[in-house]
Amino acid sequence: MSLPRYDPHSRKGSRTPVTVSELKRQQHTVTGVPGSRAIALFISLLCGGTSVLAFAPFAFWPVLLPCVGTLFVLVFYAGSARYSFTIGYVFGLGLFGAGVYWVYYSLHLFGAAIAPLAAVGTLLCVMVLSLYPALFAVIAWRFRVRGSGLVHRSSWFLVAAPALWLLVEWFRSWFLTGFPWLSIGYSTINTPLAGYAPIGGVFLNSLLMAFCGGALALIYVQRSIASACIALLGIVVVAGGGQMLRSVSWTQPAGDPVQVTMVQGNISQELKFQPRLLEDSLRIYSDLSLTGADLIIWPESAIPTLFTDVEAWQTEFVEEMAARGSTVLSGGFHANEDYTEYYNAIKVLGGTDDQLYTKRHLVPFGEFIPLRDIIKLLAQVITIPMSDLTPGTGPIMPINIDGVNYGMSICYEDAFGNEMIAQMPQTNVLVNISNDAWFGDSTAPHQHQEIAAMRSLEFDRPMLRVTNTGITSLISRHGQVLEQGEQFEAMAMDVEVVPRHGSTPYVLVGNWLVVSVGFFLVFVYFVCFLRAE
């Protein structure tokens, strides 16, 4: 008995006779990996989990290339749309399971959720995020072409797959308020690809990183001198171009250096919002601020109540600091006139209304409960302080202090470069205040600092990053950490920062440049290959 031969590169297959035993053998190798599908899924899971090593605190970025390349190979050889979806989903379980496990800390240790519920919540978070790699995989599989020649395969591995990866990452960055954490472009801070960030931002770097991974995959799949030459030439051109761009100065110094003290109070999350300890918290921050620097910066919620609740203390403290020649910028909470809306804010203590910034991009379940009326039970079980806040409104402008414009972001906001552009190009120095105590002694604070460094690189401006328990740091305009404090220690870090002015290409076009490139590449691939079928 004979059956039509199954061609994994064809939707229809050919009519060449083949025995049943040979068909079974081909089906077992349809993934491109000898053995069963279970082995292929295990490899996908392993690649996803291993990919986390490319990000901080490990920063072993080369590991990402074979991991992404292997995913491309597994998707390319998947025998069906359903199986390609599974391959991508399992990759996502590895990536986000190893990458955002720290959600458990927030829910259980600091959100008062019992351990089983916190574990379920973390698992659900990982499962939802894993849908994005699965979405990439099923679309990329659909975009395969029947031809098996070098041109056809090169176009898929070097054009279609990287472009689709970029577009899915970008989609993840804004859909349902967005979660751009672990976008692969963040791993490029210390690579030649860093030179591209001021042009197209983190997503351009993601595209190029996916391209390099696809190039390695092409070498494996095609296994010819021609494919190796094409792939290696592409990698060399991309890396060489990025290295040359790293020497370009997109902005210029703007004024004299500013002396800054960044205060890390190290107030534990369990005690931070207890009213009886408010005076102790203020005393800790006050004592660490007697440095005489031009600017003193306190972290997010350093004042763990409304600014108006501490007006008497604030007046006295501001006078003392003014006598020392210092201005204090602190995180805290702000309310509207009738106290019906509350905001996570940063303010110049004793300053005017235009020296107040209210957080725009809130953290779901951390600062607000989505669909609170529908999920009342969850809102009751997870009791996070100040978790019913209002997004900031009005024009987004930097805060001017002594002639220097400081572009503000609070915690999670620095993960959204396209939103921070609203304060450009007026901003001279970036300021991010955060409270990464929510994540305990996990990889999250390190990943968060890496994300902040990408913003400095995109905007070609230094960043003053001040956190409650760490990691407080001074980040250069090139995205390099110049000075860094120890985690879980109370300290005052004295640094000097040079304001800058000017615009990078990314400031002018945001994410739209690279997203347009992604759609264009997909369109060209469709017209040249898929439509021809």
What is the distance between the alpha carbons of residues 131 and 94, in angstroms, rounded to a whole number?
A: 12
**CA–CA distance, 487 with 446 (Å, rounded to integer):** 10
Q: What are phi and psi of 252, to 5 degrees?
A: -130, 155
- Residues forming the active site: 300, 359, 411
385 — pLDDT class (breaks 50, 70, 90): low
Partners of 492 in beta bridges:
263
Q: What is the pLDDT of residues 145-202, one digit of tens each?
A: 766 678 889 999 999 999 999 999 999 999 999 999 999 999 999 999 999 999 999 9
The CA–CA distances, whole Å, from 358 to 261, 307, 392, 453 equal 22, 12, 5, 22
**H or E element in which residue 354 lies:** none
Q: What is the mean pLDDT of residues 234-252?
A: 96
Least confident of 10-24, 58-72, 134-148, 205-219: 10-24
Q: Estimate to the nearest angstrom the gap between the alpha carbon of 256 and the chain centroid.
A: 32
Whether pTM > 0.85 for this model: the answer is: yes
| Contact between 107 and 267 (Cβ < 8 Å) | no
Structural domains for the chain:
1-30 (no CATH), 36-248+512-530 (no CATH), 253-501 (3.60.110.10)
Binning pLDDT at 50, 70 and 90, where does residue 517 land? very high
Residue 470: pLDDT band with limits 50, 70, 90: confident
CA gap 153, 174 in Å, rounded:
31
pLDDT over 60 (residue 8): no
The first and second tokens of residue 400, run together, are: 């001017």
C-alpha 14/C-alpha 454 separation (Å) is 50
More confident residue, 116 or 226: 226
Tell me the pLDDT tens digit for each residue of 293-331: 999 999 999 999 999 999 999 999 999 999 999 999 999
Higher pLDDT, 87 or 116: 87
Which residues are registered as beta bridge partners of 519?
Answer: none
The per-residue pLDDT for range 92-134, each reduced to its tens digit, is 999 999 999 998 887 766 555 667 888 888 999 999 999 999 9
Q: What is the pLDDT of residues 473-503, one digit of tens each?
A: 999 999 999 999 999 999 999 999 999 999 9
Average pLDDT over residues 214-241: 94
